[in-house]
Structure 1
């Protein structure tokens, strides 16, 4: 389960327990504009434990969008409020996608398929 922020040092059983108690996997959105070019992206995946807030986790992405997102026409004015709303509402919940990808069978070249 490497590559997901906030899971350092947790066993699979601990993550499963956190998910049962309300933990979730989230991404935050950010938007950066340069005159006529606007880029909207998602952060890395964060594991948020049950009862943990997301404000501090989303703060950098929110500030980046707030200061650099508006300047592209027309998409800066469309994407920036959406990014801000997503982040201020706790991020985009991707728990189902992450759990499905972790449970999906892995490709093994020795099996020939």
Structure 2
């Protein structure tokens, strides 16, 4: 399972309130190519508060893709553009999945799903 970053010591209750205000959990994508092999991967999960857009958190992954993603043919350019577009739109929103896991743990049930 992916780690959650940027929680900064918030309690589950504080996270829930922040989610209600518009906060979210996101994953960023990055692409790395080595001539005939192109790998597109997701980052750990990042908590983005309601006051943030989330673009700055994903900038490192965007720069990584921009630098190393193009070089594999044929998928390098295609997956690089996909990764950059995802990151510049604020990342892939996985809030519902994370909240479902938090609810499962909160109710004492074992979690049966992993986050993408």
| TM norm. shorter chain > 0.5 | yes
Q: Structure 1 residue runs of 4+, over 2 Å off?
A: none
Higher share in strand: 2
Mapped partners of 1:65, 1:93: distance in 2: 19
Cα distance, 1:100 vs structure 2:
1.0
Aligned residue in 1 for 2:47: 47
SS of the residue aligned with 2:25?
A: strand
Cα distance, 1:53 vs structure 2:
2.2
Cα distance, 1:42 vs structure 2:
0.3
- Alpha-carbon contact 2:55-2:88 (below 8 Å) kept: yes
TM-score (norm 1): 0.89
| RMSD, matched Cα | 1.4
Larger radius of gyration: 1
Aligned residue in 1 for 2:110: 106
The CA deviation string for residues 54-113 of structure 1, in whole angstroms up to 9 with x for no partner, is 122011000000010000011102100000000000000000111112222217xxxxxx
- Once the two structures are superposed, the pairs formed by residues 1-113 of structure 1 within 5 Å of their partners are 3-104=3-104, 105-106=109-110
> Which runs of no fewer than 5 residues in structure 1 stay unpaired?
108-113
Aligned residue in 1 for 2:114: none
> Matched residue pairs, number?
106
SS of the residue aligned with 1:55?
A: coil
